[in-house]
């Protein structure tokens, strides 16, 4: 008895351009969300190091709240609840904001570990030379703190990319949303979801390879 694989390559080729458009939206959401996560993570870590007790407490509370709340719930709140209070964003912008805020709370911990890894002598030397605050952080602390954070940040980049299918819940037609639409129109699920899985895997592998190359380059 021969084994037949229920996959129609001609059908997959017919909807492939639509899947590529969805993949482009996924990449935009990933890059936008990750850049926002880096900014938010650095700001949160800076606030925690402000030395002002109430700001430190509020920052810690915010990080715990975001990390303990599912990303899907955050998407629903921002997209469906906030418009009732006059705060409204389009679907893709909502997805980028939620991805950035959610992963920013994790990136803050990565920055904390990286900054803590800078030897105490580097801080003392920068202060002894009387370097301005922005020069000390921009030229001395952050360059040294960034190197050990690359592997962890790369993992979060790949993880963020794999979370983008959740944006389909707020009508973002990303790669997974495109697969859903095709399956809903044709009642054929094997081809679109298989193609989506393969495309996600390929991009994830490329991103992981790029992060590994960047890590080696920085180490040199």
Q: What is the pLDDT of residues 140-179, one digit of tens each?
A: 888 888 888 888 888 899 889 989 989 988 988 888 888 8
Give the burial string for 164-187 (b: 16+ CB within 10 Å, else e).
Answer: bbbbbbbebbbbbbbbbbbbeeee
State residue 122's pLDDT score. 82
- The whole-chain average pLDDT of the chain stands at 87
CATH of domain 9-219: 1.10.3720.10
Whether the predicted pLDDT of 7 surpasses 80: no
Confidence class of residue 3 from pLDDT cuts 50, 70 and 90?
very low
Most confident of 71-75, 135-139, 177-181, 183-187: 71-75
- Whether 69 shows a pLDDT value over 70: the answer reads yes
Picking from 113, 39, 209, 201, the residue whose alpha carbon sits closest to that of residue 217 is: 209
Would you place residue 220 in the very low, low, confident or very high pLDDT band (cuts 50, 70, 90)? low
Phi, psi torsion values for 74, nearest 5 degrees = -60, -40
> Predicted confidence band at 39 (pLDDT cuts at 50, 70, 90)?
very high
28 with 161: CB under 8 angstroms? no
Taking the C-alpha atoms of residue 208 and residue 156, their distance in angstroms, rounded to an integer, is 10
Q: Where are the domains of the chain?
A: 9-219
What pLDDT sits at residue 5? 58
Give residue-wise pLDDT tens across range 73-125.
Answer: 999 999 999 999 989 899 999 999 999 999 999 999 999 888 888 888 888 88
């Amino acid at each position: 008895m021969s084994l037949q694989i229920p996959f129609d390559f001609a059908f997959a080729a017919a909807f492939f351009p639509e899947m590529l458009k969805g993949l482009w939206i996924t990449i935009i959401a990933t890059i936008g969300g990750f850049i926002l996560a880096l900014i938010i993570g650095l700001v949160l870590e800076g606030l925690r190091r402000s030395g002002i007790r109430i700001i430190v407490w509020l920052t810690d509370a915010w990080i715990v709240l975001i990390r303990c709340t599912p990303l899907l719930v955050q998407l629903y709140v921002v997209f469906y609840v906030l418009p009732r209070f006059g705060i409204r964003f389009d679907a893709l912008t909502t997805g980028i904001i939620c991805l950035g805020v959610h992963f920013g709370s994790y990136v803050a911990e990565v920055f904390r570990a990286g900054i803590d890894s800078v030897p105490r002598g580097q801080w003392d030397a920068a202060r002894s030379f009387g370097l301005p605050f922005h020069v000390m952080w921009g030229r001395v602390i952050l360059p040294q703190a960034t190197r050990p954070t690359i592997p962890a940040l790369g993992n979060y980049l790949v993880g963020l990319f794999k979370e983008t299918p959740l944006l389909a819940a707020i009508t973002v037609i990303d790669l997974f949303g495109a697969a859903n639409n095709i399956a809903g129109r044709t009642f054929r699920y094997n081809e679109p979801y298989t193609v989506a899985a393969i495309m996600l895997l390929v991009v994830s592998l490329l991103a992981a390879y790029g992060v590994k190359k960047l890590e080696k380059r920085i180490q040199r």
